Structure formats: C-alpha cells, structure tokens
Structure 1
Amino acid sequence: MLKLNHTDNSKTTILIRLMVGAVFLSEGIQKLLFPALQGSGRFEKIGLPLPEFSGNLVGTFEILCGVMVILGLLTRLASIPLIIIMLVAFATTKTEVYIEKGLWELLHGSRTDWAMLLGSIFLLLKGGGYWSLDNKLMTDGK
C-alpha cells in the first residue's frame, strides 16, 4: 500500500515536480482570473454541469495541488486530483477532436495533456523525491 507521505530518494524527481506543479498552478490561476475563457465559460462550452462551481473548484484544486507538488508536500496525495482533472479533460475535450479531425490532430493537440497526466501518475508512484518536504518530514520522523 502506498504511504501518501513516503518518497524515494531520487534527486531528479524535482524536475517532474516543477514542470507538473508550475503548469497546474498557472492553469488554476488563469481559471480564476479569466473565467470566461479558461474557467466557467470554457466549462459551460464543453457541457460540464454547474460550470461556475466546477470551474472555480477545478481552478482551486489546480492551484493548491500545484503548490503542494512544487513544494513536494504530500506529493502523492496532491497528484490524485490532478490525475482526475486530466482524465476529465481528455474525456470532455479530446473525444470530439478525435472524431472530427482524427488521430494525428488528437495527438498533436493533447501533448501537454499527456505530459501532465503521465507526470502526475509518476508523482503518485514515486513521491516527491529527495528535494521535497515529504522527504524532509519522512527523515525527521526517524
């Protein structure tokens, strides 16, 4: 069973953490700053229920989890909502692209989505790495 604060000692995990965390932090801030384009307006356009609520909820989770991932604080726990966000994003935005424009356009248009999904899955499996608060808390507790 995965311990949510456990991590390995990899010193390179910080690169994945910074990439994943910075992108989600930025996207979350944009959802709240520009709701018509990135948040509730976009959610309404793609047919998600309660677009104002869900846009703000997703934006808030992206900000909070993005910061947690950057800091390496409960990295595994923070990655779970990010994985869910990416799976919903794929289901709601990429299916239509595939149907209308085909596989190659889908792959081209989803490259960032794949990077965020796979990066988040990596963090769920590995934890925050050597340079993380998870590691600091884990080693201080010994």
Structure 2
Amino acid sequence: MAKTHSSVDSWLWLIRLIPGFTFFLEGLQKFIYPDTLGVGRFIQIGIPHAAFWAPVTGATEMLFGLLLIVGLFTRLATIPLLIVMAVAFVYTKWPLLIHKGFLPMFHEYRTDFAMTLSLVFLLIAGGGSWSLDHVRKKHV
C-alpha cells in the first residue's frame, strides 16, 4: 500500500532530529571544549576573529538546532544552519578538495553532506504534522 502524504508528513520529526540534535550538541561542545572544538579549532582552521565567531556559531547551532528538534520555524531555522555548513565547507573541505582531490574530500565531507541534504529537505518540506509549526498553524 502506498504511503499517503499525511503518513509521510507525520514522520518528518525523525528527519528533524538528525540535524537538530547534531547541531545542538556540536554547538554545545564549542562552549564545553573551547580549545579543541570552539575558539581553538576556529583559530586552527584559519577563521578570522575566532574569539567572536566560535561562540556565535555555537549559539547559532544550539538555538536553531533546538528549533529543528521541536519543529518551530523549521524552514527559517535551516537557513542559518546552511550558512554554517557553507562556511565549514569553505574552511575545512575546500582545502582538502584542492590539495587531495574529490574522493578524500568527500570522505571527510560525508557527514556534512548528509546534514546539508537533511537541511535542504526540511527547507522544502517544513516541520511536518508533529511539529510546533503545525500546532502554530492550527491556532493562527
């Protein structure tokens, strides 16, 4: 039996959890482990003004990751996270592509690729019927 739109839509919460929890926990770790995952990491990979951008990025990941988890402003929440992914690609994966080629770069990019596609999917599909977006729409 084919899945109806509503039955597929009700499972979007599962897709939201993948980038939502990943971003939330990665953002949190930028504060817990600043030398290795926060400011120190940003300095190591050459991001200018690392002392500013590491906490801003961590807070962005936590806030918008949490919004994805609960499904509130889902489509809008994907945009800053896609920007974070683009910057991460430029600073961490682009040099690999230039110096080592596509396959070694893609090996390192595989998780980021899955996260990016999940965000693009949520940007298009929204939060689904098990989301605060759905509850908000019913009361507007």
Identical positions, percent: 45
Displacement of 1:100: 2.2
Provide Cα deviations, 1:87-141, integer angstroms capped at 9, x if missing partner: 1111110011112222111111101111111111111111100100000110122
Equivalent residue number for residue 42 of structure 2: 43
Question: Residue type of the partner of 2:108?
Answer: G
- Secondary structure, in 3 states, of the residue corresponding to 1:123? helix
Return the structure number with greater relative CO, CA threshold 8 A, min gap 6: 1
Question: Residue type of the partner of 1:16?
Answer: I
TM-score, structure 2 length as denominator? Answer: 0.91
TM-score, structure 1 length as denominator? Answer: 0.90
Equivalent residue pairs, number:
134
Instruction: Give the Cα separation in 1 of the matches to 2:114 and 2:83.
Output: 14
Name the Cα RMSD after superposition.
Answer: 1.2
Equivalent residue number for residue 127 of structure 1: 126
Tell me if 1:93 matches 2:64: no
Instruction: Give the Cα separation in 1 of the matches to 2:120 and 2:30.
Output: 23
Q: Which runs of 5+ in 2 are unaligned?
A: none
Indicate the larger mover: 116-125 or 83-92: 116-125
| Runs of 4+ with deviation above 2 angstroms | none
Q: Which runs of 5+ in 1 are unaligned?
A: 1-7
Instruction: Give the Cα separation in 1 of the matches to 2:51 and 2:112.
Output: 22
Question: Residue type of the partner of 1:14?
Answer: W
Provide Cα deviations, 1:2-49, integer angstroms capped at 9, x if missing partner: xxxxxx951121111011101001100111111111111111111111
